[in-house]
Structure 1
Amino acid sequence: MTDGAAVFANSFSWPVRVYWEDTDAGGIVYYANYLKFMERARSEWLRALGIEQGPLQRDHGLMFVVVDVQSRFLRPARYGDLLQVTCEIEKWTRTSLTFRQEVCRAGESNDRELLVSGSVRVACLDSARMRPRALPDALIKQMRVSGESDAE
């Protein structure tokens, strides 16, 4: 197993506004919706790198699926809050990526209040066979920080 935190793209942050549909009757974000927010941040991170998941599956027979999630809920988000959801690669193997993710309430003066922290492991699968597949070298190159060496 290789620790990819130093070689992959830096932390990515995605803004999320809490809407009424995200909350329970008390105006508090329903716990499962934090996973949706984290998913959106990972998808937008890929998109920012020029990687679209639809063409990956259609043209290359490759897909990412969540295989493990760990989360810690520290404080609630409420209706109307503006959140920042971050993701960065913590570890990687030939067939999976583990993301460290945080959901923070955005403050007035760039202060951030940590609400949820988590770890999400996604596996790279052959979409026809639904079996693990090695991350293609071209995909790994797209994820690297510009200027980093390809040697490991």
Structure 2
Amino acid sequence: MKNRKIHWLWNVVIVLTLMVIVAAFMAHYKNWINVESNQFKILSGIYYKKINFTDVNKVEMVDKIPSLERINGFSVSETEKGIFKDSIYNTNVYIFVDKLSTQKIKVTYKDTLQLFFNVSDSLETEKMYTLFSSKLDSLSSLK
């Protein structure tokens, strides 16, 4: 029987591939939200959106996402993420939904642009909605 020599390069390629897969999963498994004094940032994998609070027209809680055409993104079980096309306004709609069965926050900004998001914990989604509403109320009182 011949001695088989395993090449070290293949071991390195396998380990690097597994590391990339784990990093991609970590980036997509939840929404990474950052709220600053005048900006809202949301990141999930390759999808990223930054919105100034001064550009926001309306924030509301909705049960369902309207029927939209997917440009790119993915759906897995209760998760829906990506960029969709609104055929009424012919604009892009960003969707960052971790759990489809719970309520989602709908943010309308710059008159016709929309963003839907939630997190897997419904109480945390409620807190985000309250924070968003209070930011909008404080901005409207300044005007």
Regarding TM over 0.5, the answer is no
Which structure's CA Rg is the greater one?
A: 2
If each structure's helix is expressed as a fraction of its own residues, which one has the higher value? 2
Taking structure 1 as the reference length, the TM-score comes to: 0.27
Q: Greater relative contact order: 1 or 2 (C-alpha under 8 angstroms, separation 6 or more)?
A: 1
